[in-house]
Structure 1
């Protein structure tokens, strides 16, 4: 549907995803391909799995291996990996023989496959897992934040949520804990605020760790364009950055 809820592409696919970079993946008879914004199938349904386009590339699966195609459907990085993630900041995580590393957009391994798990880069840092602990590397593959946390999210606005024991807090890009681990749940910052959970209620903190919207909601989500969805007694509402319900 378009923005006024008019059906512009008929219901004809077994499955479909949202558009990214002008293309959307669709499924026909157990195979995946891509359509453009007018519904034309521009990349035939030939893949066993696929993901959305990012930076002009989309990961695709043929049999048990992953590779990458460009926006015209050409396989530019052969399906040779046991696992793969979308590119971010010029690098994509891949799995070879049970370990993860990173390739560039030409398919060359830039950071050797040495991690038990690896995630996308954000603000020039990527979360990696060694054993049961998580840390961060830079785009050169250097371990800049040692694997010492029980859990870590990606960096946003210079901060990343981490878990120590059963509590969450935030570190800066040097790995220093700048907001103490005191929350029962946290996520990444968006528009200067992050939703946190204390007990069974959610609220919002600023980048200094101050609770600016008290924990009073049953659930809460990130702010987008000045508004965030929250849930109270099973009903969803929108709040502004003062915590006022506007819808």
Structure 2
């Protein structure tokens, strides 16, 4: 189990091994064992904020995407209730076929009844009526709230609503896909063309459209390097590139996985991640399974996957920024049990948030 976990977390690092080191060689085995031995040293204080199941009347209880709420289900998986930290039921879910507790966001939980999708708030009221189609996407049958907006389908057509069920982007058969909102914008694929819409559903320019094309010179993917000089590569790129070049790669989702493209929609960092943040100050937060790390503009993993996603709740922000986004050289990566914020610098070292 440990070997399987390590190989998953270090997938980017292992991919940069010199070709002369075959995977069955003693050197590679020694390398993998060194990773395993070092793993306890890489554990973050964010683990202190990991989910702890409360004692309750319910037999089957699991964590959710929202701190303080837990999902109780029957033996065969049917939802029963959301419970709080004291084990008390706060939302009755027994009338629904399914819920997606991993997508609680903006105070809303996706629910399914009679093959229709809606959203319930943390008081148990249906904030969004159960009236939308199930999504047939690799990431599931419903999308989470993203910046107060929800991508839904009605009569087979994509559209966007707000948390009051007001239509923001009209439903259209011409729309083949809509990304979740990030940075106040969403990317829409309509009639085989790509456009950007703001939170009011109005066309807007790509946030990078004012970046000169020649800035792409600095974006050419760096050759793979080993983990010993990854931090040096990141520093050199950050020092040599002006700040206007820090956000020239955009997050893009494909087949349920996230990667990054340039201004010409050319894939620069492959679709390898479960979740990502936009580039900020030359680094982007990326998640594989339950852990976050950071890559640079060359696609190199410069801060290892060691920050547990349970350290922060979906939709949480600090000083106006979501977790795993750098501002003034610091990124918020989680909370301690006492509520204290935890931050890191661009080398991954713990620093004060204020």
TM-score with structure 1 length normalisation?
A: 0.61
1:122 aligns with 2:212: no
1:63 aligns with 2:110: no
Task: Quote the residue 2:86 is aligned against.
Answer: 38
- 1:94 match: secondary structure: strand
Over 3 Å counting, the alpha-carbon distance change for 1:6 and 1:69 in structure 2 is closer
Is contact 1:65–1:81 with CA below 8 Å preserved after alignment?
yes
Q: How does 1:148-159 map to 2 (within 5 A)?
A: none
Over 3 Å counting, the alpha-carbon distance change for 1:34 and 1:134 in structure 2 is farther
Answer 1 or 2: which has greater helix percent. Answer: 2
Is contact 2:128–2:165 with CA below 8 Å preserved after alignment?
yes
Over 3 Å counting, the alpha-carbon distance change for 1:142 and 1:44 in structure 2 is same
Over 3 Å counting, the alpha-carbon distance change for 1:59 and 1:3 in structure 2 is closer
Give the distance between the partners of 1:190 and 1:26, measured in 2 at CA: 37
Give the distance between the partners of 1:56 and 1:215, measured in 2 at CA: 35
Over 3 Å counting, the alpha-carbon distance change for 1:79 and 1:158 in structure 2 is farther
Q: How does 1:103-118 map to 2 (within 5 A)?
A: 103-114=161-172, 115-118=175-178
Q: How does 1:73-84 map to 2 (within 5 A)?
A: 73-83=124-134, 84=142
- 1:116 match: secondary structure: strand
1:138 aligns with 2:198: yes
Give the distance between the partners of 1:21 and 1:81, measured in 2 at CA: 27
Give the distance between the partners of 1:17 and 1:6, measured in 2 at CA: 8
1:17 aligns with 2:79: no
Give the distance between the partners of 1:9 and 1:157, measured in 2 at CA: 45
Q: Tell me the alpha carbon deviations over residues 192-218 of structure 1, each in whole angstroms, 9 at most, x when there is no partner.
A: 41379xxxxx9832xxx4x5xx9488x
Task: Quote the residue 1:151 is aligned against.
Answer: none
Over 3 Å counting, the alpha-carbon distance change for 1:222 and 1:184 in structure 2 is farther
Cα distance, 1:140 vs. partner?
Answer: 2.4
RMSD in angstroms over aligned alpha carbons? 4.4
Q: How does 1:121-200 map to 2 (within 5 A)?
A: 121-130=181-190, 135-144=195-204, 160-162=250-252, 170-171=261-262, 176=263, 182-184=268-270, 187-189=276-278, 192=281, 193-194=283-284
Cα distance, 1:136 vs. partner?
Answer: 3.0
Which of 155, 159, 162 in structure 2 is aligned with 1:101? 159
Which of 273, 292, 295 in structure 2 is aligned with 1:204? 295
Over 3 Å counting, the alpha-carbon distance change for 1:11 and 1:190 in structure 2 is farther
Give the distance between the partners of 2:51 and 2:166, measured in 1 at CA: 44
Choose between structure 1 and 2 for higher RCO, CA contacts under 8 A separated by at least 6 residues.
Answer: 2
Answer 1 or 2: which has greater strand percent. Answer: 1
Q: Where do 5+ consecutive residues of structure 2 fail to align? A: 1-47, 135-141, 207-245, 254-258, 287-292, 308-323, 325-329, 334-343, 350-354
Give the distance between the partners of 1:216 and 1:111, measured in 2 at CA: 36
Over 3 Å counting, the alpha-carbon distance change for 1:10 and 1:40 in structure 2 is closer
Task: Quote the residue 2:148 is aligned against.
Answer: 90
Over 3 Å counting, the alpha-carbon distance change for 1:227 and 1:138 in structure 2 is closer
